[in-house]
Amino acid sequence: MIEKILIANRGEIAVRIIRACREMGIETVAVYSEADQEALHTQLADEAVCIGPAPASESYLNMQNLISAALVSGADAIHPGFGFLSENAKFAELCEQCEITFIGPDSKVIGKMGNKTEARATMEAAGVPVIRGTNGPVADAEQGKKEAERIGYPVIIKAALGGGGKGMRTAQNAEEFESCFMTARKEAEKAFGDGTMYIEHFVEHPRHIEFQILADSYGNIVHLGERDCSIQRNHQKMIEESPCAALSEELRGKMGKMAVKAAKAAGYTNAGTVEFLLEQDGSFYFMEMNTRIQVEHPVTECVTGIDLIKEQIRIADGGKLPFRQGEIEMKGHAIECRINAEIPERNFMPSAGRITDLHLPGGNGIRVDTAVYSGCEVLPYYDSMLAKLIVHGKDRKEAVDKMRSALGEVIIEGIGTNVDYQYQIAENEEFVSGNINVDFIRRLNGETA
């Protein structure tokens, strides 16, 4: 039985995991960098251990320090949250070697799904639809250009490892291919320490749809419906919602079955997400699999009533799924807005500093996941997300109205935020009507393709 969990993360996801553990009667160990000593997660956990200086590379990404903290504190499990080491196969393997339960899939599955070319080959072999592209990594720009001609322009050049929109460039034609390839590869090398690239045909104007899956160690796999993540800037999600307004019950069932098939093909356990690109004609293609909990998991929790963090812990502790596919019901509509410390009018420049005044909304159907408080310091070393504002209504119209109302209540002073920009989206006619795709933000900003 899992008795004590070390949370290898910070911010709102660390707070979210601590709360789930409290409800389950499980002790928690927070880790923190020297700069994060006063952070909320360190105050809420049963214990807190400093793991290094402010830079993430010396603290939250320091595998040895994290493992040492788990061993010293007597934690028998580690929850990685999202970001940092959550999809690092080596870290999961270290946990396994030290007989610490890693709350997520095993290291081999993380490695297989983290390598985008291997993941693509796995899905193709399983009969999951994939976008036409290279059958393996591309050695250099010259080979890449030949492959792009075969695939057909426009193409998207992607890092084989990593994610988060880094190491990605779109080439519209052969003339701009080489510069796009070199730029993407340099970015991948800097972000992930690996410049291996692959190429896919670029699907224009799709929706970004992801299916939440849960899989136990006994072969039981279910999906918990979809999330529409099409509102994104530079491949970074801004707003997510469930269900997707564009999916019929028939298409939802078809995509859900493919998501489950993808998880089975990967030999998956625990919580994960299968991501698809959806075209206007209903065609859809596997994009990638995220082998962790997602930032946007609360919208799925709202419409299904299932606590995903608790299910992660139960599965890692050897439990069976307590429900089958036919028992999962989606009720109402949920939307999440990411509140970031950034200044939209200055090209979304990150904003750090002390929060001098704070008011967050509440009320029926409104949830805020955050780790900020009045007087806390927003640090420049980490991700800019301050909070996730989640609303749940009986239908999409009520959810949109509720989100607009809730955004109007948010007060965060002392730093710049994107609250007004999110409110602008919530008022936009296209968004209100549900007429959205991955180009929405570009159109809103008046940018050309």
Give the residue numbers marked as catalytic: 292
Which of 402, 443, 441 has its CA nearest to residue 418? 441
Are the C-beta atoms of residues 177 and 148 closer than 8 Å to each other? yes
Cis peptide before 80 (omega within 30 of 0): no
Cα dihedral 325, 330, 335, 338 sign: negative
The total of other beta-carbon atoms located within 10 Å of residue 443's CB is 14
H or E element that contains 250 = helix 249-266
- State the Cα–Cα distance between residues 376 and 406, nearest whole angstrom: 22
Are the C-beta atoms of residues 303 and 330 closer than 8 Å to each other? yes
Phi-psi region of 232 (alpha: psi -120 to 50; beta: other; left: phi over 0): beta
**Which DSSP string do the residues of 345-406 spell out, in sequence order?**
GGTTEE--EE--EEE---STTEEEEE---TT-EE-TTS--EEEEEEEEESSHHHHHHHHHHH
The angle formed by the CA atoms of residues 108, 112 and 113, to the nearest 5 degrees, is 120
Q: What are residue 171's DSSP bridge partners?
A: 155
Helices 249-266 and 116-126, packing angle to 10 deg: 110
